[in-house]
Amino acid sequence: MAFRPAETKLRIFLIGDSTMANKLPFDAPETGWGMVFPQFVNEAVEVQNHAVNGRSTKSFRTLGHWKKVYDQLRPGDWVFIQFGHNDQKQDDTTRYAAPQTDYRKNLVRYIEEIRAKGANPLLLTPVMRRKFDESGQFVDQHGEYPSVVKAVAKQYRIPLIDLHARSREVIVQHGIDGSKYLFMNFPGKIYSKFPDAKEDNTHFSPYGAALMAGLVAEDLRTISPLSNFLKQSPYPGKYAYELPNVMAPAFRKDTFNIVRYGAVADGVTLNTQAINQAIEQCSRAGGGTVLVPKGFWLTGPIVLKSNVNLHVQEGALVQFSRNTADYPLVQTNWEGVDAIRAQSPISGTDLENIAITGKGVFDGAGEVWRPVKKSKLTASQWTTLVKAGGVLDAEKNTWYPNERALKGATAKRPGVVAEGYTLQNTADIKEFLRPNMVVLTRCKRVLLEEATFQNSPAWCLHPLLCEHITLRNLTVRNPWYAQNGDGVDVESCRNGLIEGCTLDVGDDGICIKSGRDEEGRKRGVPTENFIVRNNTVFHAHGGFVIGSEMSGGVRNLFVSNCNFLGTDVGLRFKTARGRGGVVEKIYVSDINMTNIPGEAILFDMYYAAKDPVPQAGESNELPTIAAQPLNEGTPQFRDFHIRNVVCQGAETGILIRGLPEMAIKNIEIENATLVANAGLVCVEADNIRLKNVTLLTKENTVMKVQNSKNITLDGITYKPGADVLLKISGDRSKAIRLVNTDGTKAKKEVEFGEKVLSNVLTKK
């Protein structure tokens, strides 16, 4: 192993063929995995990609490409070598290299020359092409070439990355249809270079290239010293290559203006037919953009179709009808169960390649659907609302838009199919069955970008059972008093990105779900592999939320660089007995909060469908509940990693409330400064670690721990003058470790019983 000078960067040279090579912008969307690879190494690494389309071990040298690399090499450099696709071309004498003879000799020659320069070779087997036979079995087209690479690596004791085997796993995992999108398979008229349809199962799409580069980075973890140069992500304990990759939709250049189909922007004409006809025609023609130009467009429900980008131009207002008769009843899903509801203003089912874009506004006319609580309005607002019409409940505390809505409020699980509700027997409670504004069900490759969605009847944006979703730079608004007025509810979805969005809503801001109770467990589809970053949430019940309908599970979520300003709770993780499901592998970093009326960080297994901040006369005290036997309805929260959190003003800094039969487990909170009335309240928890956490509280009892074990407090800072730092109670409270930031134990270690400890950690 040669050593490089300390003042220079580690240099990695990539030599290979088109699957690795850089591409020009005109070549889009073709992407070599070597174009993505630099994103997965840190700033101490310089990556030079010298791979060239169409080259083999032979032609890369004869055409002079190798000399450009060789002349630069110095001790300590690395050269990644991947050839094979073009060495197979027997009818081309300028490229062909037989596997057991010339191909082997060429690899050996590269290795010897690299080592002669004091540099380090690394071999990669050729990446797979995509091919399945008639029975659906994957077909390997590389013959002996991969085995030769392995044999040479073993003989010369060279690091090996078996991208041949790893890429096969990824292709097979995506399936016959899904794996098409790893490669250059798309219809014509989307990309300038490809006016006709393309079917290329050798060269990668941006998504496929990112996956392949991630495999290379993953295998570098076992190769020293390269493992030291992998880029860390913003999330605790995770590398950049481990983050989810999301496919983006792409559309033909054709544009379908709704005006050509009879739409009139006068605010009076109902344009439902014209808009839907434009969408239908666009989809039938192979896709493109349906344009809603600036103006006031009144409409009923809009139904999306595959390959359509609904583009709402800046200055356009799409106002959904305030006549509830325009929204027929349909069978759909509500709060994680099958239910009858009014048709959503925007919906799409079993679609691919869809988008809603543009800087226009969608208004859901939510005021004709929503009930309103008297306690959430001023006296003047309440009087005005009641005078405008509608009906009140028996207690005169809640306003409903009409008698049908009030009747639904008193029914048992209204509209739920399991309770016997059908399309035929729900008309008399229709207005209670208010729709979510945008519902996308079982859709793939979805983009919502830049638009404003406001005034929804219920939840605003609801992707359900979707894959590869991007929500970017959206504005989502609902009145702060809007019951069930959530901003974004992602349910049982896989692979997504939510970034740059601004939300100001009446219920949870960005919420992750996966079905409710037995129906959710039977569906068994978790929400997984999502990045949530650079978002701002103003009023909401929670800034970032998981639950309470999480019965199908939630995992692999990455949340960073979000601001919560005035949300009732900041990070809100909620569930209840009967839900079941496992929420795990949640990574949160760099969160700012201010003016939080409830908890900055909340883990709660006692969710009871109440507002997180009690109204006047209500209580939020922990109920006394005896332990019950474990069963499939027992929920689990575990493996949360939270760091770099600042909160200026909250009722409670951290509240953790598990069940007697199921503790909340494996929670790490590091580098947090929380200014709150109360500090830490921890009940029924196991393996909770707080490191470098500052709790500046009004209460002198900074931390309360009950019926918990394996609690580690490392480098805790609290307000000078707090006489009681930590109060521990309950028979199961044990093994509370107090340590200093250097890893040494603090002054006391608590084992059992009712204890009050004073001044056990050094005050700053």
CA dihedral 650, 653, 659, 661 (to 10 degrees): 180
Tokens of 588: 């949160």
Q: How far apart are CA 409 and CA 554, in angstroms?
A: 30
Task: Give 499-566 as a 3 state SS string.
Answer: ECCEEECCCCCEEEECECHHHHHHHCCCEEEEEEECCEECCCCEEEEECCCECCCEEEEEEEEEEEEC
Q: Which of 26, 80, 28 is nearest to 209 (CA)?
A: 28
Q: Residue ranges of the alpha helices (H) in 187-304?
A: 206-220, 272-284
Query: Torsions phi, psi of 309, nearest 5?
Result: -105, 110
d(CA 492, CA 515): 7
Distance CA(254)–CA(307), nearest Å, equals 11
Single out the residue of 430, 429, 455 nearest to residue 320, CA to CA. Answer: 455
- Interatomic CA distance for residues 90 and 96, integer angstroms: 5
Comparing C-alpha atoms, which of 647, 560, 562, 541 is closest to residue 604?
A: 541
Alpha helices by DSSP H, 285-367: none
Distance between CA atoms of 471 and 447, rounded to whole angstroms? 6
CA distance 186 to 298: 35
Contact 451, 362 (CB under 8 A): yes
C-alpha span between 24 and 13 (Å, rounded): 19
Peptide bond into 29 cis (omega under 30): yes
Structure tokens belonging to residue 121: 């070779």
Whether 661 and 669 have beta carbons less than 8 Å apart is answered as no
CB 63 within 8 A of CB 34: no
C-alpha atoms less than 13 angstroms from C-alpha of 232 in its C-beta half-sphere: 6
CA–CA distance, 515 with 521 (Å, rounded to integer): 7
Distance, in Å, from the CA atom of 649 to the CA atom of 675, rounded to the nearest integer, reads: 5
Torsion angles phi and psi, residue 342, rounded to 5: -70, 150
From the number of C-beta atoms within 10 Å of its C-beta (0-12, 13-18, 19+), residue 650 rates as: buried
| Nearest Cα residue to 637 out of 598, 600, 667, 679 | 667
State whether residue 207 is helix, strand or coil: helix
Tokens standing for 177? 């249809």
Amino acid at 721: G
In this structure, are residues 185 and 199 in contact, taking their beta carbons and an 8 Å threshold? yes
In Å, how far are 51, 201, 604, 657, 707 from 624, measured between CA atoms? 66, 61, 14, 12, 13
Q: Do residues 754 and 726 make contact, with C-beta atoms less than 8 angstroms apart? A: no
Q: How far apart are CA 43 and CA 508, in angstroms?
A: 38
Whole-angstrom distance, CA of residue 238 vs CA of residue 560: 13
The closest of 515, 463, 517 to 486, measured between CA atoms, is: 463
Q: Would you name the residues annotated as active-site residues?
A: 18, 199, 203
Task: Say if CB 17 and CB 54 are below 8 A apart.
Answer: yes
68: how many CB neighbours lie within 10 A of its CB? 12
C-alpha closest to that of 467 among 505, 448, 441: 441
649 close to 673: Cβ distance less than 8 angstroms: no
Rounded CA-CA distance 69/11 in Å is: 11
